[in-house]
Structures are given as C-alpha cells and as structure tokens.
Amino acid sequence: MPKIKSVKCHPVSAPIERPFTSSRGWLYKTRGSCIVEIETNDGLVGWGECYGPALVAKSYIDTQFSSRLIGRDPFDVEVIWEDLYNRMKDYGSSGMVISAMSGIDIALWDIIGKESRKPIHKLIGGCFRSEVQCYATGLYFIDMDRLVEEAVEEACGYADEGFPAIKMKIGLGDIRFDIRRVEAVRKSIPDNIRLMVDANHCYSVAQAIRIGRELEQLNIEWFEEPISPEDLDGYTEVSRTLDIAIAGGENEFTRWGFRDIVARKAMDIIQPDVCAAGGISECRKIAALALAHGVECVPHAWGSVIGLAATLHFLAALPDQPPSFKPMPPLLEFEQCENPFRDLLSREPITHRSGLVQIPTGDGLGIEIDRHILERFRIS
C-alpha cells in the first residue's frame, strides 16, 4: 500500500513580454504559481497547483500541512482533506489556506490515478464527455491608446482560431466607453460566437444594473463578477433585476462559502476554481450543491497546465445542466494571455482544435511535467 514519503513546493515565476491589466488596476508583468509535488514510498509522484501568491501557499504547506501528510495513504484523500481543514479553520476557513489545500488535493488525486492506472475522471464518477468546448479568455487592457481597436483585433483572432466563445474584460471607469468597446467586439465577430464580459467586481450595484441593461441589448452570454464578492445581497439584487446571466465565485472557497450563494440563487452561474476552492474533492461537492439548486457550474481556470488538466477532469465528470436532447455542456475557460507554465510545463501541452479540448486519458492528470521548467523559473 503506498504511503506519502515527501511533500515539496515549487514556487515559480516568469516574466512576460506584454504586461496586461484589468479593472483591478494590477499590472501583470509576470506569471507564476505554487506547484506541489507529492511522492510516495514506491516512487509515484503526484502534481498539484495552488491558486494565488506562490510563496504564501508554500508557507502554509511547509509549516502546517507537510508533516501531517508524511506516512499517510494517499487514497485517504477525503480523510486528509477534512483533517487539514479542521487543523486550520480556527485561524481562517477560506482564502490562501484553502488554495494550499487545493494543490495537495489535486496531487493526491494524481497519485491515486497513477496507482490505479486510470485517469482522474474515471475515479470521480466517469466521463460524461470526451471533449469540451472552450472559450478564450482575453481582451485585457494592454495598449491604453488602442483599447477598442486592440480588443477587436484580438477577438477576431480568436474567432479565426475557431473558438466558439470569447470572454472580454470591462471596467475602465467609464460605462459609456465600456459599452462602446463591447459593442465594437460584438459587431466584429460572427453572431454564433458567444461573448461574455468580466468586470472583476469593479462596479457598484447601481452601476452593474445600469451597464447590465445595456449589455442585454448586445446579446452577451453572461456578466461575470459585476460587484464585490462580499456583497451577497447586492448579487441577489443584480441577478433578480437583470435578464442576463450573472456569474461569479472564482474567489470563493469550499462548500460552505458557496452554500448561501446557491441556496439564494445570488448567481446564475458559479465559477469555483479547482486550484483555489478546495481541489477536486471539494469542487465536486460545490458542483453537487449547485446542481441541487438549479445553478450552473462553469469552473474558473487560471494557472498552469496542472490546473488546466485538473479542470478538464472535473468537467468530464460534471453532468449536463440540465439534461436534455441537445444539452448545453459546461465550458472550459481557456485563458489566452502569455503563460509559460500553461504552454511549457507539460512535455505535451494541452491545446484546442477549433475550440475543442480533449479530456486527458492518461493515468492521473494525464500529463508529464518537465522538471527543467520548474528549475528554470524557480523563486525562493
């Protein structure tokens, strides 16, 4: 029976050629992550990823979690999750502590799959689909003198690649300019390409309702993170007032964090991130909550190929919402900004073909990590 022998963290960061920003005003000059490596006594290695500041996640794992994992059976993945959560919840039951746990959980599932010689989705319920449609996340703010033209050019590029859906950033401090930019993109791409907008919670309730009514006239699929994630009453008001679907939840954690969101239907679409919300184990519970309340689950994905692979396995095992003759399956978020850890960390990168991504079929996550990339971009 395998036992956990070691737990290592690989914090990595790489510069990017074209820095970008969103409504939050943070200029992304680098891409980074905390990669988790767990090895068993029989030499199997599982890989995981933590969303958020890499060194913060590493600190939690090194000081609080690692010693509690050594010698344990990786197949006890749910038992381990509950133990780690209960060890730390007196000091905070959300945020980076859960992100750190997420990386551990994903790595354990990778080991379980490799030991069982099965892909993860076969171990969490099976494969509802062998491929998923993906949407391109992009259209950030890069060239402040060409925000409209730049967005149109980028959107047309994604359309030419065959993406069936595109998500663009809004929230430039001027609602009229936001609408003009969205309208220009909508007119530049074919009508059958779905277009979503993401405000990164920059509006007040009143502003979100005002711009939401304008967005409804432009055939926008969903309005993501219109207001601050702490304002659940505000989300309920926005979602009840507008006809457009309201999405959010990428910065929420665990089943308890999502419980009131789905029970009150404060959002039409929840977006848990497997690298943040508690890993594959917890996101399965979050998805079950959503399904029971008639709320759609479309996971957030922002990170390396590890997080992308974990999200694909999670999506493979999600039932159609709702089941129908021609169901609308959940979409994969396929972020398109420069990211060496998405494109280079696996010896065979995950790619799309005409907007379709294949579910990995190899053991565990189904990817092979290139250790040279970890060493090349390691930070201390």
- Spatial distance between the Cα atoms of 299 and 109, rounded to a whole number of angstroms: 18
* Domain shared by 88 and 131, yes or no: no
**Pairing mode, if any, of strands 194-198 and 165-169?**
parallel
300 is catalytic: yes
Cβ atoms of residues 55 and 11 within 8 Å: yes
- Burial (0-12, 13-18, 19+ Cβ within 10 Å), 351: exposed
The string of pLDDT tens digits covering residues 172-196 is: 999 999 999 999 999 999 999 999 9
Are 146 and 127 part of one and the same domain? yes
Torsion of CA 109, 111, 116, 119, to 10 degrees: 50
Q: What is the mean pLDDT of residues 189-211?
A: 98
- For residue 253, what are the CA distances in angstroms to 78, 273, 281, 307? 16, 9, 12, 16
CA–CA gap between residue 364 and residue 352 (Å, rounded): 20
Q: Which domain holds residue 343?
A: 122-358
Q: What is the pLDDT of residue 329?
A: 85
Asked if the structure places residue 165 within a domain, the reply is yes
Half-sphere exposure of 368 (CA within 13 A, CB side): 3
Residue for token pair 């090895």: 39
How far apart CA 169 and CA 278 sit, in angstroms, is 26
Whether 178 and 74 share a structural domain: no
**pLDDT tens for each residue of 129-176:** 999 999 999 999 999 999 999 999 999 999 999 999 999 999 999 999
pLDDT of 229 reads: 97
Does residue 364 fall inside a structural domain?
no
Output the CA angle 375-66-271, nearest 5 degrees: 80
Please name which of 41, 34, 13 lies closest in space to residue 101, comparing C-alpha atoms: 34
Residue 198 CB partners (closer than 8 Å, separation 6+)? 22, 137, 167, 168, 169, 170, 224, 225
Residue 252: predicted pLDDT: 98
Helix, strand, or coil here: 53?
A: coil
What CATH number corresponds to the domain at position 166? 3.20.20.120
What average pLDDT score do residues 362-371 get? 98
Structure confidence at residue 327 (pLDDT): 84
> Running DSSP on this structure, what letter comes out for residue 20?
E
Whether residue 380 has pLDDT greater than 90 = no
- What tokens were used for 253? 């954690």
In a shared domain, residues 126 and 110: no
% the chain with pLDDT above 70: 100
CATH of the domain at 74: 3.30.390.10
Domain contains 313: yes
Q: How many residues does the chain have?
A: 380
Residues 141 and 275 in one domain: yes
Kindly list the distances between the CA atom of residue 47 and the CA atoms of 54, 149, 295, in Å, as whole numbers in the listed order: 15, 40, 30
Locate 376 and state its tokens. Answer: 């090349």
Burial class (CB in 10 A: 0-12, 13-18, 19+), 94: middle
The residue-averaged pLDDT of 321-337 equals: 90
Q: 76-86 pLDDT, tens per residue?
A: 999 999 999 99
pLDDT band at 323 (very low <50, low <70, confident <90, very high): confident
Cis omega before residue 322 (within 30°)? yes
Domain identity same for 31 and 179: no
Average pLDDT, the chain: 97
Clarify whether residues 231 and 82 are in a common domain.
no
Q: Are residues 176 and 143 in the same domain?
A: yes
Going by C-alpha positions, the residue among 144, 158, 155, 141 that lies closest to residue 183 is 155
Same domain, 245 and 273: yes
Whether residue 365 is contained in a domain is answered as: no
Verify that 226 and 346 share a domain, yes or no: yes
Catalytic residue among 10, 121, 201, 300: 300
pTM of the model: 0.98
Q: Are residues 173 and 307 in the same domain?
A: yes
Residue 359, pLDDT score: 98
Total of domains in the chain: 2
Confidence tier at 15 by pLDDT (50, 70, 90): very high
Q: Closest Cα partner for 245 from 176, 285, 172, 294? A: 294
pLDDT at site 328:
84
